């Protein structure tokens, strides 16, 4: 019997997921990590090995989660990027990206919903700034993260007993780009660089505790995205230049 508050984090073996797992653990949560590789020592209390792009592996992970007494926070974080124009992206890459970035969070969440309802859980979906603003040469990623946002926002309305937070991170250094698929190099755009996984983790924790609906990090992305959406012609021209299209 575990009467500690419990947080489940997918993709806690690196980057943002690892930082969020550490933050919730430091706040006294029993942390369950779901990923292919085992997280390093101190990140979680329990590791459920799973490849969330595989139907059977995802179902087995859901079955393990349903054995827990409670889930207070459920973070859909595991994800992958893709840098390619639509006609450059291989079908297999597109399917893998949609499996991990969209189908996996939807299927895993819905499979464990009875426990989330019973626990009055807070579900956190890690979308992306690219889910708010169309990013050329990351079109598939933008589409998957926009779809995840819609999942998140509609789940919020459908489920009275759970709280849902949608998170839109901007660029944060984690090595995410080097693990992405697609044939293009990440362009050498100026990096602001002061954002960290640890700071995002603190804000996600606060957003759960304060029952916020959404979180954009860093905050000024809200302004940049607003401007870009109002000036589509200039934004498209700039994007073509950056991506050498
Ligand atoms: N970093 C950024 O700038 C940024 C910006 C906006 C949004 N995001 C989003 O934030 C989330 C985390 O990104 P990150 O930067 O922390 O990336 P990351 O360091 O590459 O971490 C990705 C995590 O996903 C897990 N994962 C990958 N494939 C998996 C699979 N098939 N099954 C289960 N788990 C899998 C990885 O674990 P294993 O390899 O052990 O399976 C890893 O723990 C992603 O959803 C990403 O789209 C990131």
Give the pLDDT of residue 129: 98
Is the shortest distance between the CB of 85 and ligand 1 below 6 Å? Answer: no
Is the shortest distance between the CB of 132 and ligand 1 below 6 Å? Answer: no
Distance 117 CA to ligand 1 centre (A): 26
Q: How large is the greatest C-alpha to C-alpha distance in the chain, in angstroms?
A: 58
Q: Give domain limits for the chain.
A: 6-242
CA distance 210 to 233: 38
Q: Which two tokens stand for residue 20?
A: 């969020």
What 3-state class would DSSP assign to 102?
A: helix
Please report, in tens digits, the pLDDT of each residue of the chain (245 residues total).
567 999 999 999 999 999 999 999 999 999 999 999 999 999 999 999 999 999 999 999 999 999 999 999 999 999 999 999 999 999 999 999 999 999 999 999 999 999 999 999 999 999 999 999 999 999 999 999 999 999 999 999 999 999 999 999 999 999 999 999 999 998 776 666 689 999 999 999 999 999 999 999 999 999 999 999 999 999 999 999 999 99
Ligand 1 atom at shortest distance from the alpha carbon of 79: 45
Give the pLDDT of residue 1: 53
Is the shortest distance between the CB of 105 and ligand 1 below 6 Å? Answer: no
Give the pLDDT of residue 190: 62
- Which of the listed residues 176, 198, 215, 221 should we mutate to test ligand 1's pocket, taking the one with most ligand atoms within 8 A of CB? 176
Give the pLDDT of residue 3: 79
Is the shortest distance between the CB of 13 and ligand 1 below 6 Å? Answer: yes
205 CB-near residues (< 8 Å, 6+ apart): 20, 23, 24, 27
CA distance 224 to 227: 5
- Out of 3.40.50.1860, 1.10.540.10, 3.40.50.300, 3.40.50.720, the CATH code matching 6-242 is 3.40.50.720
pTM of the predicted model over 0.85: yes
């Amino acid at each position: 019997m575990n009467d500690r508050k419990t947080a489940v984090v997918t993709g806690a073996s690196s980057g943002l997921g690892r930082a969020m797992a550490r933050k919730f653990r430091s706040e006294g949560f029993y942390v369950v990590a779901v990923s292919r590789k085992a997280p390093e020592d101190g990140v979680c209390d329990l590791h459920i090995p799973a490849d969330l792009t595989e139907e059977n592996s995802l179902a087995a992970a859901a079955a393990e989660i349903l054995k827990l007494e409670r889930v207070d926070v459920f973070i859909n974080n595991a994800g992958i990027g893709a840098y390619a124009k639509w006609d450059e992206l291989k079908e297999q890459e597109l399917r893998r990206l949609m499996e991990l970035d969209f189908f996996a969070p939807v299927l895993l969440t819905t499979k464990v919903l009875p426990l989330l309802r019973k626990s009055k859980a807070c579900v956190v979906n890690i979308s992306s700034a690219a889910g708010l603003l169309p990013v050329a040469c990351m079109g598939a990623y933008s589409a998957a993260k926009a779809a995840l946002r819609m999942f998140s926002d509609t789940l919020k309305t459908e489920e009275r007993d759970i709280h849902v937070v949608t998170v839109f991170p901007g660029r944060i250094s984690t090595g995410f780009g080097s693990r992405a698929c697609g044939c293009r190099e990440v362009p050498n755009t100026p990096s602001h660089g002061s954002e960290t996984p640890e700071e995002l983790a603190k804000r996600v924790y606060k957003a759960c505790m304060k029952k916020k609906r959404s979180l954009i990090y860093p905050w000024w992305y809200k302004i940049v995205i607003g401007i870009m959406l109002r000036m589509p012609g200039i934004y498209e021209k700039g994007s073509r230049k950056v991506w050498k299209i």
